[in-house]
Amino acid sequence: MNIPAPAWPVFQLHRGHAPLLISLPHDGSMIPDEFSARMVESARHAPDTDWHVSRLYDFARELGASILVPRYSRYVVDLNRPPDDTSLYPGQNTTGLCPAVQFSGEAVYLDGQAPDEAEVAQRVELYWRPYHETLVAELDRIRGEHGRALLWEGHSIRGEVPFLFDGRLPDLSLGTAAGHSCQPATQARLEAVLAGQGEYDWVANGRFKGGYITRHYGDPSIEVEAVQLELSQRNYMDEDSFAYDDAKAAKLQPLLRALLQAALDSQRG
């Protein structure tokens, strides 16, 4: 089948002046009607969205960061998966390029309604590729202006997701592709910030080592570093209603600001 072109721009880009690009690939929650009509009721609400991360990171504009935010849900296409859908976590439960399974383990689609290979390829061209082309162009612009760039991948997830993980997830999970996507000094700066606060528990390169974007674009040898931060949603929102919690968010944001400032400091020597 031929799917229609997106009715709305697939992303929004705020262009800043600092050597920092924040990518929020799972912030989008829109699902076109032609896709949602084929989904089970629970999936139509896009429950696996990284809810409100663009709102949480909005202060980063004050730091001069560029911010790239998608409009459409990961259920349309997952921007943080490789276009050939190679598994990032072989042997473990996970979700794919055009997910057929929710984080709950439930199906996304009604019986027989999941996209076939041809439709997945179309979704990649219409929704995935424009985001990545813009991400690359913005990294190139930043590196051209500053000589280097840092890509910050902002993510969030429910604190407990039994289908995917055992037990309670840490409050903050730092991922650097096991140290390959950024300079050791950059990771050390970020870990020092995390270690210096006592409110939130954290881990580096645990279950979340960085997805496709971190692993693919982070290349310190060409002065492009990449870092992923996965946040537990319990620390800034209500996980059941998906409502933003201003008080919780205001408590978390100073730590996020300190981490971004440390990332910027690493780019400035």
pLDDT, average across residues 144-170: 94
Give pLDDT, residue 268: 80
What digits encode the pLDDT tens for the residues 5-28? 998 999 999 999 999 999 999 999
Give pLDDT, residue 190: 98
Contacts of 226 (CB under 8 A, 6+ apart): 150, 151, 152, 153, 176, 177, 181, 182, 210, 213, 214, 215, 217, 218
Helix (H/G/I), strand (E/B), else coil: 99: coil
Given a cut of 50, whether residue 93 has pLDDT beyond it is no
Q: Which two tokens stand for residue 66?
A: 């560029």
For tokens 């496709």, the residue is: 212
| CATH code for residues 11-266 | 3.40.630.40
Strand order in the sheet with 172-175: 11-14, 66-70, 20-23, 149-157, 224-232, 172-175, 202-204
Supply the pTM of this predicted model.
0.95
Given a cut of 60, whether residue 196 has pLDDT beyond it is yes
Q: What is the distance between the alpha carbons of residues 60 and 18, in angstroms, rounded to a whole number?
A: 10
Q: What is the distance between the alpha carbons of residues 233 and 167, in angstroms, rounded to a whole number?
A: 15
Q: Are 225 and 150 in contact (CB under 8 A)?
A: yes
pLDDT, average across residues 152-171: 93
Q: Return the higher-pLDDT residue of 94 and 215.
A: 215
Q: How confident is the model at residue 89 (pLDDT cuts 50, 70, 90)?
A: low
Q: How confident is the model at residue 213 (pLDDT cuts 50, 70, 90)?
A: very high
Q: Which amino acid appears at position 220 of this protein?
A: P
In 3D, which of 159, 161, 137, 139 has the Cα closest to residue 148? 139
Q: What is the distance between the alpha carbons of residues 65 and 126, in angstroms, rounded to a whole number?
A: 26
Q: How confident is the model at residue 96 (pLDDT cuts 50, 70, 90)?
A: confident
Q: How confident is the model at residue 125 (pLDDT cuts 50, 70, 90)?
A: very high
Give pLDDT, residue 162: 85
Q: Which amino acid appears at position 210 of this protein?
A: G
pLDDT, average across residues 59-77: 98
Q: How confident is the model at residue 269 (pLDDT cuts 50, 70, 90)?
A: low
**For residues 202-231, b (16+ Cβ closer than 10 Å) or e, as one string?**
bbbbeebbbbbbbbbbbebeeebbbbbbbb
Least confident of 42-51, 92-101, 139-148: 92-101
Q: What is the distance between the alpha carbons of residues 83 and 266, in angstroms, rounded to a whole number?
A: 31
In this structure, the dihedral spanned by the alpha carbons of residues 132, 38, 239 and 21, taken in order and rounded to 10 degrees, is 10
